Amino acid sequence: MKWGLISRNPAALTAVTKLRKRKLRFYDESQARVFLEAICGDSLEVLFWLALCLGSRKGEVLGLQWTDFDFEREAVTIVRSLQRIRPEEKKKSNLELIPTKVESSDRRVWLP
């Protein structure tokens, strides 16, 4: 329309549906305590503990590397995510470490 190639905007004829935002849910203190007791001794206990305490996305927790941990400052830096990627020309997907989706997702989180 801007260039005068079409007389009307075809996108104006579409109906826009509202996207439902998922409501964020958090454990309260008693739920977190029950969860931590339930995972005690599990081989993935540290992973679950980090996910609970950092409040990070699953891919962000799975993308952590030892270099992301600063044990002197008791902090972890989140700069990447583990994602399942399927190249267009392939049938199988691969797990790949990729940068976080937006730069503002990069952050330092203090460990409790």
pLDDT in tens, 10-34: 888 888 888 778 887 889 999 999 9
Predicted pLDDT at 21: 82
- For the beta sheet containing 107-110, the strands, ordered from the edge strand earlier in sequence to the opposite edge, are 69-70, 75-78, 107-110
Closest CA to 112 of 40, 29, 16, 41: 29
- pLDDT at position 65 is 95
pLDDT band at 98 (very low <50, low <70, confident <90, very high): very high
Is the pLDDT score of 6 beyond 80?
Answer: yes
Q: pTM for this structure? A: 0.69
pLDDT digits (tens, 9 = 90+) for 31-56: 999 999 999 999 999 999 989 988 88
| Domain boundary assignment for the chain | 25-110
